[in-house]
Amino acid sequence: MPIISSRQKTDEAVRNISRFQSGEIKPVSTGHPWIDEVMLGGLLPSTILTIGGMSNHGKTHLMQSIENSILDNYQDIVLLRCNWESPVYKLLLRKMKEKTNAKLTELLYEKPTGERLDKIKEICNQERRDGLYYMEEPNSPDGFFNEVSTFLDAHKDKKVLISIDHVGLVKGREKASIDGLFEMMNLLKKMHPFVMFIPLIQMHRERILSRADDLLRHHPQQADFYGSDQLFQVSDGVIAIYNAYKVGIQEKYMKFTKNKFTYIDESFIIDGGEKWNHFNPAGNLFLHATKVRDMDDIEGFKEVWVEKLFEVEEAPIVKKDKKSVEASLDEI
């Protein structure tokens, strides 16, 4: 990039701020009100929103639900999916499952009819829309920069969302390669008027399980993310998605003062006595805002959100070891 005078960059910044103030530039909603709230209204130009989680805890599903919401509601956004892990047919099946409430086995092995067939045709037509692209082969940081910069140049007049599933598959697969990929995203976000990134990253299972008996340290921490240094430096937001019950935390998740999370519905909370409360892990999914760049500007910042995954009729009476609990839940 060339060296530019401060006068020119300041004038450019003032013009951009004026476009926000006039309503010409508006944040892109993720379709998840809590994420929009912690991200100052949604995805803004140059946003890097990193989603972390252990395998099978729902990070790809969360990203795909954000993508689907944007595809449903924004016709002027170009989406580049770097689906380095899942083939396209699996992404399409997940969307069909979500939109039709059918089982994967039904979608794979039964010919659709009636309303389901109509819905599937609608989904496929939407996936064929202009402005949806794929990069299926993992790339090196430099290769990613070269390909994406060319792509951005071709779409200067559009808003662009780039999702990466997941960054640990970057060529090299070492910390230096992951750091390099985030460094390239940081460069690319300055090369386009409205580009947004949603990279996914794995979290260290062993680190998290080592704290399974420590209620005060249950919550995800920066060191739990692979390649944590660079991603926390350049990301505007880092969200950890965590199914505590799935890793064997069956009775209580976290320990916090009673006035800590008053915005959370009481059905998700267990009374821990005079001073303390806990979250109920059974059937619930936890989203943690592990980093938000401008959190001081958000009144009543909500650092944790809880979503119901499934109903649990009774809390487990007999404790199982962590491996057997995870195996049984994988069958649900």
Quote the pLDDT of residue 55. 86
Q: What's the confidence (pLDDT) of residue 90?
A: 86
**Helices 114-127 and 88-100: crossing angle, nearest 10°?**
140
Handedness of CA 13, 15, 21, 23 (dihedral sign): negative
CA-CA distance, 293 to 38, in Å (whole number)? Answer: 10
What count of residues does the chain have?
332
166 and 197 Cβ atoms separated by less than 8 Å = no
Q: What is the pLDDT of residue 295?
A: 67
pLDDT at residue 99, rounded to an integer: 86
Token pair belonging to 175 = 């910390």
Residue where the block lists tokens 């970057």: 170
Helix axes 88-100, 59-73, angle to 10 degrees: 70
pLDDT tens digits, 30-50: 999 999 999 989 999 999 999
pLDDT attached to residue 324: 43
Return d(Cα 206, Cα 90) in angstroms, integer.
28
d(C-alpha 206, C-alpha 215), whole Å = 16
Q: What averages of pLDDT result for each successive group of 10 residues across the chain (332 residues)?
A: 83 83 88 93 95 90 92 92 88 88 91 92 87 91 95 95 91 84 94 95 89 88 83 93 89 92 93 91 93 75 90 52 42 32
pLDDT score for 313? 60
pTM attached to this predicted model: 0.85
